[in-house]
Amino acid sequence: VEPIDPRPGHIPGAVSAPTAENLDGTGQFRSGEDLRARFAGFGEGPVAVYCGSGVTAAHQIAALAVAGIDAALYPGSYSQWSNDPKRAVATGE
């Protein structure tokens, strides 16, 4: 169920990386070393970040910068993607 966007799901090939896992117990960003290790588990290649509306994607871009990883922000996020019926949408893992 998707309460905002016209189609539930995610951009095909996207991997979920919850932003809360970028933070330590005090609410600060984890160390660059810890974040590099975290993001290494998501695969290699160019990194693009999006979310539902753009807010948590900005947080993710900041965490990637702390880790020393270049990333691009897809500012339209899933809301823009899902509004174009020509674009594929994936569901599940």
Active site residues: 51
d(CA 61, CA 38): 14
Report how far apart, in Å, the C-alpha atoms of 14 and of each of 3, 24, 33, 42 are: 20, 24, 23, 10
Question: CB neighbours (10 Å) of residue 90?
Answer: 11
